[in-house]
Amino acid sequence: MNKFIFLLTFILLATYSCSNKGKNNNNTNSIAAEDIETVSDENSMHLLVGTYTGGESEGIYVYQFDTVSGYSHFRQVTKIDNPSYLTLSKDEKFVYAVSEDSGEKATASAFSFDKKDGSLKLLNSQKTGGDSPCYIEVDKDGKHVITANYGGGSITQFGVKDDGSLNLPTQVIRFMGKGTDTERQTKPYLHCVRFSPDGNYLFADDLGTDKIHKFDVKAGDADNFLQVGTPPFFKVADGSGPRHLTFHPNGKYAYLINELSGAVIAFSYDSQNGNLAQIQSIQADTLNAKGSGDIHVSPDGKFLYASNRLKGDGIAIFSINQADGKLTKAGYQETGIHPRNFVISPNGKFLLVASRDSDMIQIFLRNQSTGLLEDTFQNIKLDMPVCLKFAAFK
């Protein structure tokens, strides 16, 4: 009899635990009262999520995310078409988003961000002058916003007003050329724009021509904020398809994920002249899927992660040699379908993956000694998530 009572009690507790987890992370319409205690304001951050809106999603979603427990609560959604990439000003008072569309609908939008309730208020939108903007970046002073326009083969520079809204673009820089892949590199396809850690240079990744374009940043010159650098670009191997670029926290190294070759290229970065020098190329995608996506370095600078799609969907994990910046393969974590983008919590404890075609954000626990990942199964269910950003809570 005692064994029966114990077993029944165990089953009831297990059932409650699973049910609680589901309510806590999967309900995007309300916060269940019984779940409030699982998320602590003290440990929380805002999690902003960009989506594709061709299905059920409506725009930018904001969650409260507990960086200790890994639990999350939906807070609000702001309607906007296809906000496939987001960025925040350094003071996190403003959020900037692209609308990855064509023609008149290809825009960059500015929002004010209220950290008390996680709400966004649209300030204004401006046309990018290039189709399919897919990446957006703001400079360290919050005075300039740059978009990478994938379909337009261009980048666009906007001045930012004192209230955070965008001026009309003052520079639309278009590129020429093509690559060796006759299907994927028929023209320039700009996929990413990143400021150097010192803010003195801008790098623009061109998937279509296998180039990383370099620009000198001229602060105070609103009309010519970006000037062609010396050299004007860095060439990588033919057929690579440069996608996203990230910098090591120490500012000495940069890492490029290539969509078509599946290679991660490590560079040394010279802050004196803004030059990149290749020091290594190592495969993140070993299946020739031609779908590598995103890349990030852990906050402590010890590990690098790169996502792969189309075949063997998952995250390649590398350790980083602190002496020379070179990479060594450390492991591989399978994910949901099409891990387009991912983010690491600032405390380094969690890695969150936007698995677009599985309609969920997966939450992985990071082993900070080995870099390996463990699925917590605390998924956030959301239709077609494609961009994840953290912001301080309150």
Q: Is the pTM of this model over 0.75?
A: yes
Q: What angle is formed at CA 265 by the lines to CA 385 and CA 219, rounded to 5 degrees?
A: 75
pLDDT digits (tens, 9 = 90+) for 242-274: 999 999 999 999 999 999 999 999 999 999 999
**CB-count burial class (<10 Å; 0-12, 13-18, 19+) for 232:** exposed
pLDDT digits (tens, 9 = 90+) for 43-64: 999 999 999 999 999 999 999 9
Residue of higher predicted confidence among 9 and 311: 311
pLDDT digits (tens, 9 = 90+) for 2-48: 433 333 333 333 333 333 333 334 433 333 333 444 788 889 999 99
Q: What angle is formed at CA 216 by the lines to CA 104 and CA 85, rounded to 5 degrees?
A: 40
**Cross-strand pairs, 51:** 385
1 Cβ neighbours under 8 A, 6+ residues apart: none
Q: Looking at the predicted structure, is the pLDDT value of residue 100 above 60?
A: yes
CA distances from 259 to 166, 268, 301 (A): 31, 21, 23
Half-sphere exposure of 126 (CA within 13 A, CB side): 25
pLDDT > 70: what percent of the chain?
Answer: 91
Confidence at 283, pLDDT banded by 50, 70, 90: very high
Measured between alpha carbons, how far is 275 from 267 in angstroms, rounded to an integer?
Answer: 9
Q: Is 369 helix (H, G, I), strand (E, B) or coil?
A: coil
Measured between alpha carbons, how far is 82 from 130 in angstroms, rounded to an integer?
Answer: 15
Name the strand (E) or helix (H) holding 155: strand 154-160
